[in-house]
Chain A
Amino acid sequence: MSAILPPAERLWYKHPIDRVEGTWIVIALTWCLIMFGMMVGWHIWGNQNLSTETYRTTPEQFVVKVQDMVDKYTVRTETDQEIPVVAPPPGSDIYLLARLWSFWPILELENGKTYRLHMTSMDFNHGFSLQPANINIQMVPGFEHVVTITPNQSGPYSVVCNEFCGIGHHQMVSRLYVK
């Protein structure tokens, strides 16, 4: 009954630890160290690490960069809103903005090639969720996040907003193509 009573021994901190507890603590601690090692190790040997390269930005500044890319590399438009589909050269800086309630523009990338993707939000927090690749990154207004990506599968992808951003949130869906 003594979890609801004062401990039997005055010097309860001197009571020896039982073998079951001691063994489990060592096992659990070792496992925690292994998990720590995995995170550090993946940065060295793994291919999927979220970049933290970030710059402060404003909607006006970022829109200029997006428009520049759109002017140079648009190949067609899609949907009724006539969203430009942009095919930038491999290795280049590419731009994606999120706003209530759409992403702009649509990117068309090449499989196996690397790009530096710059992302930000024009207004509220949005979520960048690329499906079926299942990569999920937060888009925070005022912060330009630069992530180096290399697609590994051709096909059509959806870019879905997964941070609640108001009444149009569930309709905030766009596309991305990998050739």
Chain B
Amino acid sequence: MAYEWPGAAYLMMGLVGIAGISAIVGGAAYIYITVGSLLWGKRLDSGATSPNFTQLQRATPTAIAQTYGSAGFAAPGTFVLAMVFLVAFILYYFINWKYLSTRWALS
């Protein structure tokens, strides 16, 4: 093999391993909670039964909450988060184009 893999590649895969095992523990917790609840959880009241349904009504109308936002935005905090997302997106995107430009010329 001509080119030796850099040590950092092994480090990254090792970190993947650690994160992966920890995530599997998290997944196992989910299985324990859900299956355990079905097996040992206290039974709850099922509620009244009837052979018929009651028709589902439309939601009650609410006023647009323009008065709660700022600058006329109903959800300014979410907008800020969205802009953080956009900036991250733009930066990440162009960093990768820059990297591509340093690769061999291909056509």
Q: Indicate if A touches B (C-beta under 8 A).
A: yes
Show the binding face of A for B, using Cβ within 8 Å.
Answer: 1-2, 5-10, 16, 18-20, 23-24, 27-28, 31, 35, 38, 42, 46-51, 114, 130-135, 147-152, 155-158, 173, 175-177
Whether B59 is near chain A, meaning CB under 8 Å from some CB there, is: yes
Show the binding face of B for A, using Cβ within 8 Å.
Answer: 1-3, 56-62, 64, 69, 72-76, 78-79, 82, 86, 89-90, 93, 97, 100-107
Name B76's closest neighbour in chain A (CB-CB).
Answer: A20
B106 pairs with A31, CB closer than 8 A: no
Contact among A19, A147, A155, A158 for B73, CB-based, below 8 A: A19
**Smallest distance from the beta carbon of A48 to chain B beta carbons, Å?**
5
**Smallest distance from the beta carbon of B34 to chain A beta carbons, Å?**
22
Name B9's closest neighbour in chain A (CB-CB).
Answer: A131
**Chief secondary structure at chain B's binding surface:** loop
**Smallest distance from the beta carbon of A53 to chain B beta carbons, Å?**
10
B78 pairs with A132, CB closer than 8 A: no
B73 pairs with A20, CB closer than 8 A: yes
Residues in B with CB closer than 8 Å to A149 are: 104-106
A19 pairs with B74, CB closer than 8 A: yes
Residues in A with CB closer than 8 Å to B82 are: 24
Known contacts A19-B72, A158-B3; is-contact A7 B58 (Cβ 8 Å):
yes
**Smallest distance from the beta carbon of B74 to chain A beta carbons, Å?**
5
